[in-house]
A and B are shown apart, each in its own frame.
Chain A
Amino acid sequence: MEVLSRYEPLVDDFEAFLAACERPLPSVVRVNTIKAGVERTKRALDEEGVDYEGRAWNPTVLELETGKPGNTWPYFHGWIHGQEEVSSLPATVLDPQPGERVLDACAAPGGKTAQIAALMDDTGPVVANDNNLGRLSALRFNAERLGLTNVAVTRQDARNFSLKPVGLDAFDRVLVDAPCSCEGIIRKRPDTLDEWSLSHVEGVSGVQKGILKRAIQATCEGGTVVYSTCTFAPEENEAVLDHVLEHEDCRVVEFDSALDSRPGVTEWQGEEYDASVRKARRYYPHHNDTGGFFCAKLEVTG
């Protein structure tokens, strides 16, 4: 937890923040509307005697009163998928529409891809990319269990992603849920910070800049790119936005944040970032009883 002390200047009620980081996460699933509606899923859970609690901001998010959501009929049928509440945010910010061309640049293990596919009513094309074969096999397993037929899976380095294999010249929307130092998932994996180092944060920040730049280049003018991480480090969040704002044709835009959030920070350890990064949102564990998260919406202008 000492690692997190560097964020004390950014976080209100730091004691509550640390206390939340030490609590386990609630057991939350997302209803896969490709296979069943929310009402039918609830009825099936009722029949099995599994209690649940909805979330006002997103009716497809359910907290289950069981530690084993995998041991229910709705799970077996692919009607639900374990997905942490705040992780279901970026796909809703991306707001993909049926018939659009969408890329999930760092897609494995596929929870957000499946949510994108569902928002598009299982029409595509949705391209799910990741560079790791093991993680891709998890993605493929999840996508098929959830009944997705609109997803093409590619294995490329997202920093120089080629559209050729899928026969497209540009995307309408791209999600970059970037590989990160994962500080925000400490509630799920308490040992996450054991290997933390500033040099890792700085290294991964370089990768993130490369991926986000390529995502913007691969998106048509007027298109949307959503950048998200599950970390608090400004080096991996606002600094990455600041970098692409300088080098690519894009701007940060506001989005409706249904969950309690804080604006992006414009100053960190002697660095100053573009003022528009305030439009990005930071999600802290003690505000919504979720993991930690960062999310920004970009409009491509060139």
Chain B
Amino acid sequence: MSNDGQRFDRLPATDAERELENRATREEVVEWWDQRFGIGPEEFEDHSFWEKGAGKIWVLHGAVPSPTEIEGLGMKFLRTRQEHWKPTTNAVQRFGREATRNVIDLDPEEAMAFVRGKDQELEWDGDWGYLIAAHEIAGGREPLGVGLYLHGELRSVVPKGRRRED
């Protein structure tokens, strides 16, 4: 059994059910969101998780038979099989509102620079690594996307096609 770039395989629930070395488990994925962002398992109770290609994890509301060979299944959610797991911009926008940890709040000017893909020198006394960049809009905090914080710098990893137009 191996990874297949054309096929969606459902993540094993736990380590005990894991047949493929290095494949993340559902338990690990849910725990990661909880530990990194304080987004608890209850947020994903009705969702299933899938791998297509090495380390590309997708989230689906509900389930379909596994494996399945189709073009897309729910939303690309998380990149595993690298030193630091990396959530997708779309997943952070969809689920990141509930985050209580590792959220960097940007003022209007910083937010605009961030969504244009600019890196910025910013103070941050939290964890380094991937975090959720957010701003205040229409009476609430709203996640903008994924940032990478290293050495006093916030790097924007908003994909080119998702950046805000000038």
Contacts and interface: CB of A to CB of B under 8 A. Distances in A.
Interface of A: 35-36, 40-41, 43-44, 47, 68, 70-71, 73, 76-78, 122-125, 128, 136, 140-141, 143-145, 147-155, 165-167
10 contacts: A43-B139, A71-B165, A73-B137, A76-B115, A122-B61, A123-B61, A124-B62, A147-B94, A152-B73, A167-B68
Given A140-B72, A150-B61, 20 more contacts: A35-B94, A40-B138, A41-B138, A70-B165, A71-B166, A76-B164, A77-B144, A78-B93, A124-B60, A124-B61, A128-B72, A136-B72, A147-B75, A149-B61, A150-B62, A150-B74, A151-B72, A153-B70, A166-B70, A167-B64
Interface string B58-98: 01111011001111111110000000000010100110000
Which A-B residue pairs are the 10 nearest by beta carbons? Answer: A153-B72, A147-B94, A167-B65, A43-B138, A44-B138, A150-B61, A153-B71, A144-B90, A149-B61, A149-B74
Contact of B93 (A68, A77, A166): A77
A149 B75 contact: yes
A140 B71 contact: yes
Contact of B140 (A40, A70, A141, A154): A40
Contacts of A151: 72, 74
Contacts, number: 96
Interface of B: 46-47, 59-62, 64-65, 68-76, 88, 90, 93-94, 115, 137-140, 142, 144, 161-162, 164-166
A24 B166 CA distance: 24
A126 to B, nearest CB: 9
Contacts of B60: 124, 149-150, 152
Contacts of A152: 60, 64, 68, 70, 72-74
Given A35-B93, A123-B46, A125-B64, A77 B142 contact: yes
A147 B65 CA distance: 22
B118 to A, nearest CB: 15
A148 B164 CA distance: 20
Contacts of B65: 166-167
B68 A145 contact: no
Contact of B62 (A125, A147, A165): A125
Contacts of A167: 64-65, 68
A143 B88 CA distance: 14
B112 to A, nearest CB: 10
Contact of B71 (A124, A125, A154): A154
B139 A40 contact: yes
Contacts of A141: 161
A52 to B, nearest CB: 13
A149 B94 contact: yes
Given A35-B93, A40-B138, A78-B93, A149 B70 contact: no
A68 B165 contact: yes
A139 to B, nearest CB: 8
Contacts of A150: 60-62, 74
Given A40-B139, A43-B139, A149-B61, A143 B75 contact: yes
Contacts of B61: 122-124, 149-150
B72 A44 contact: no
A149 B138 contact: no
Nearest to A99: B62
B58 to A, nearest CB: 9
Contacts of A124: 60-62
A47 B138 CA distance: 7
B93 A123 contact: no
A166 B64 contact: yes
A147 B90 contact: yes
Nearest to A75: B164
A150 B71 CA distance: 14
Contacts of A76: 115, 144, 162, 164
Contacts of A148: 74-75
Contacts of B46: 123
Given A44-B137, A44-B138, A123-B62, A71 B164 contact: yes
Nearest to B60: A149
